[in-house]
């Protein structure tokens, strides 16, 4: 599984440009699904049949990035964000474009560092002139964080674990499921980071009876962290609320009962910010009960996101339990 996660996080696939990771996932799941197709926005859907109830399981393929808005006379790139990027955490980090071009984030001189905004930052790709820069990169191209995968033993660090870890969990569950009891639609969605766009259209197309997203959540277990009752290594998190969703009580109870029955460690999550694909799934057509299985993750939306493999294993088992429980 570590190798799968390493592979999935090694590619650059920002929102709207998910092809590289989609190709990897497709290869992984081909043997394990009854049908595989892509919809018009690029969502990858793997169906596995087993019962009447249509269950949509969603993990998003896309990752955050920066999009070039301007190339100045010296060849420095100005950019805007694709998804939630914190300017305070960019300086000195590297980004990579689809064609392999690497850049480093720099900042203008500022009187007060607190006032750092994206407009004060630039990306330096080592070009000596505008002309040289334009040969490598054009306005409108998107770069993602460039950072290697690190194996810390029980824990791993990589960029884009949000939400390649969810993709890895869904792939692994698809491989492990022996007796699917529901009509499963394992959906690897696009454009989550820019407003749950892929899940919105995928869910409309599938029209499921139940939706479950698999995504990362924040933690409150680091020194002087903002209060949040989520800890790395304490199990899969069952979401109760975030800004996009109040989990349907029936779905919360289903996940809690399955975790308890199968001795899967879990914690409850009330996230005062953020949203996931389930927010969009819930509002599909005449309404779909929806919930989220979350993976606690430190340093969200930085090039070094950290998860605990025990939580990942708990999440895989919980997803498999949903797949193998007859739902009416």
Binding site for other proteins (CB under 8 A): 227-229, 240-241, 246-249, 252, 267-270, 272, 282-289
306: nearest Cα among 197, 242, 229, 221: 221
Q: Which is nearer to other proteins, 121 or 290 (CB)?
A: 290
- Residue 281 Cβ vs other proteins, minimum distance, rounded to whole Å: 11
Which residue, 82 or 255, is less far from other proteins as judged by CB? 255
Active site residues: 192
Q: Which is nearer to other proteins, 84 or 249 (CB)?
A: 249
Count of beta carbons in the 10 Å neighbourhood of residue 117: 10
Rg of the chain taking only CA atoms, in angstroms: 20
Q: In the chain, count of helices (H) and strands (E)?
A: 8, 17
Among residues 151 and 209, whose Cβ is nearest to other proteins? 209
Beta bridge partners of 184: 48, 55
Least distance between other proteins and beta carbon 16 (Å): 24
In three-state secondary structure terms, 311 is: helix
Minimum gap (Å) between residue 185 Cβ and other proteins: 17
Tokens of 260: 């308890």
Query: What is the C-alpha separation between 41 and 197, in angstroms, rounded?
Result: 9
Residue 251 token pair = 């779905």
* 26 CB-near residues (< 8 Å, 6+ apart): 36, 44
| CB 307, min distance to other proteins, A | 20
């Amino acid at each position: 599984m570590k190798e799968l996660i390493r592979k999935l996080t090694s590619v650059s696939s920002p929102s709207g440009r998910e092809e590289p990771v989609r190709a990897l996932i497709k290869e992984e799941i081909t043997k394990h699904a009854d049908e595989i197709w892509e919809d018009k926005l690029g969502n990858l859907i793997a169906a596995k049949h087993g019962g009447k109830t249509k269950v949509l399981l969603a993990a998003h393929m896309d990752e955050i990035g920066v999009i070039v808005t301007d190339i100045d006379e010296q060849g420095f790139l100005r950019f805007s964000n694709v998804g939630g990027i914190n300017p305070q955490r960019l300086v000195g980090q590297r980004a990579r474009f689809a064609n392999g071009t690497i850049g480093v984030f720099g900042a203008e001189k500022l009187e007060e560092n607190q006032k750092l905004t994206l407009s004060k930052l630039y990306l330096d790709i080592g070009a000596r002139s505008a002309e040289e820069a334009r040969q490598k990169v054009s306005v409108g191209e998107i770069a993602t964080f460039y950072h290697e995968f690190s194996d810390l033993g029980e824990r791993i660090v990589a960029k884009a674990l949000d939400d390649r870890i969810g993709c890895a969990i869904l792939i692994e569950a698809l491989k492990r499921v022996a007796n699917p009891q529901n009509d499963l639609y394992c959906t690897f969605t696009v454009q989550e980071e820019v407003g749950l766009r892929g899940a919105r259209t995928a869910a409309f197309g599938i029209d499921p009876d139940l939706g479950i997203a698999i995504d990362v959540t924040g933690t409150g277990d680091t020194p002087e962290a903002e209060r949040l009752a989520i800890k790395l290594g304490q199990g899969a998190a069952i979401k109760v609320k975030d800004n996009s969703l109040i989990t349907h009580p029936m779905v919360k109870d289903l996940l809690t009962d399955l975790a308890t029955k199968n001795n899967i460690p879990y914690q409850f999550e009330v996230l005062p910010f953020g949203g996931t694909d389930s927010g969009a799934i819930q509002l599909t057509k005449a309404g779909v009960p929806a919930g989220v299985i979350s993976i606690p993750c430190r340093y969200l939306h930085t090039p070094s996101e950290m998860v605990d493999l025990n939580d990942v294993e708990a999440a895989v088992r919980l997803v498999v339990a949903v797949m193998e429980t007859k739902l009416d």
